[in-house]
Amino acid sequence: MPSLDLMKPKHQPSGLRRRLSGLIGPVAIAGLLLFGSGLRAQEASMPLTDWLHEVQQAPLRHTYQGTLVIHVGSQVVSARVTHAMKGDLAVERVDVLSGEPRTSFRYGDQVITIWPDSKRWVSEERQDLGLFSGLSSSPLQSMTQYYNLRGVGADRMAGRDARVFEILPTDDLRWGYRIWRDAQTGLVLKMQTLSVDAERVLEQSVFSELNTEINIDADAIVQAMKPPAGFVTDIHEVQTVDPADWGLQLHAQPWGFYPTGAQLRKGQRQPLPQRPLQWAFSDGLASVSVFYEPAEAPFNESVARAIRQGATHTLVREGGAARLTLVGEVPLRTLQRMADAFNLELQENVPNLKK
């Protein structure tokens, strides 16, 4: 009868080697986790402004195509997004899959929207094309007073490994954000806008699928921006103005919202009923537009009403000789405080409309 030793496999490792080989897997996994968490910790310990700058740079290094699904309240819309680079400028095509069919193109600051059903071609300028556009470095630094960045963990999103971060407000005048970044490319795969207490999701944009291994012809996108034959063309141009020209000022900025610009439609000399002055403010993340328009006739009674659409609040105040409409991705109380401050300025500076 053979000894029991002869029945052992010839290449069976020794007990020590067996124990070591059994440790390789867990050690490797632990190492990866430690490495990953180290990266997350390093990333989360970055200054918020640096981190956001890095997030913004990611799409400049990649082409991608994917389907974006946006939840705002109970409303759900989706769009097919194609992104490429042409030189230093981003080229983007957005085919909106919900509501009336339309395709929007962005090339630098130029934005074109084509409505095939109504055969309309609309050109307009947009400001929200870059991070912190219009903000000086000083307000950027103060932004860290109002938000904290922290790493949350790892997750899977759109079939990709993601790192999750939260940007939480330090007061109750702005929302928080939860962001999923692709571990491979750094692209944002999902973004949630959170209530002040971070308990509720107010709005969410998420790629249901995203392809970053794709060749996209940026020139073809630019070519497709031209107005098709037989389409009505409409060019919306704006001009930057100084609200102080009409006695409109907002001195107090105690909540970190700084003016980023004011505009009227091109050729418009002053705010008019139905054609208001738009004055934009931002704290670096959240933004508010203040629309001021003189009333066609003095309002007999004062009315205030508010509309909430996901993270966006709209506050309308009409009374006396003016109507104020404030729109922003902020809590209602923020709009109310800004409207109060704006009204105080109106009280002290009677609008002096240019003739």
Partner 1 sequence: MTKKTHKPNREWLSALHDDALEQWPVDEDFDDAALEQWRMQMGVRAALRNESLPDPAQTERLFQALHRVQHEEPVARRRTAIVGGEGLTQPVPPAVAANDARYAWSWVAAVVLGVGSWVLWVGDASNPDAMVAQRPEVAPTALIASTPLAQDVLVVEGVARDPRVDALIDRHRQWGGWSAGAAFPASYARNVALER
- Residues 295-314, interacting with partner 1 (CB under 8 A): 298-309, 312, 314
Q: Among residue numbers 168 through 187, which ones bind partner 1 (CB under 8 A)?
A: 177, 179, 187
Q: Tell me the helices (H) and strands (E) count for the chain, helix number first.
A: 5, 17
Position 289 contacts partner 1 (CB under 8 A) = yes
| Residue 258 C-beta: closest distance to partner 1, Å | 11
| Residue 332 C-beta: closest distance to partner 1, Å | 6
Closer Cβ to partner 1, 40 or 122, answer by number: 122
Rounded CA-CA distance 211/184 in Å is: 12
Question: Is residue 149 a contact partner of residue 303, using CB atoms and an 8 Å limit?
Answer: no
Rounded CA-CA distance 262/202 in Å is: 28
Among 169, 260, 271, 338, binds partner 1 (CB under 8 A): 260
Among 13, 38, 47, 73, binds partner 1 (CB under 8 A): 73
Q: Among residue numbers 17 through 36, which ones bind partner 1 (CB under 8 A)?
A: none
Closer Cβ to partner 1, 55 or 252, answer by number: 55
Whole-angstrom CA distances from 43 to 149, 192, 223, 274 are 10, 19, 39, 47
Among 106, 115, 155, 264, binds partner 1 (CB under 8 A): 106
Question: Is residue 96 a contact partner of residue 115, using CB atoms and an 8 Å limit?
Answer: no
Position 192 contacts partner 1 (CB under 8 A) = no
Position 329 contacts partner 1 (CB under 8 A) = yes
Rounded CA-CA distance 91/220 in Å is: 10
Question: Is residue 256 a contact partner of residue 131, using CB atoms and an 8 Å limit?
Answer: no
Position 336 contacts partner 1 (CB under 8 A) = yes
Which span sits near partner 1 by CB under 8 A: 27-35, 213-221, 224-232, 325-333? 325-333
Question: Is residue 258 a contact partner of residue 283, using CB atoms and an 8 Å limit?
Answer: yes
C-alpha radius of gyration, the chain, whole number = 27
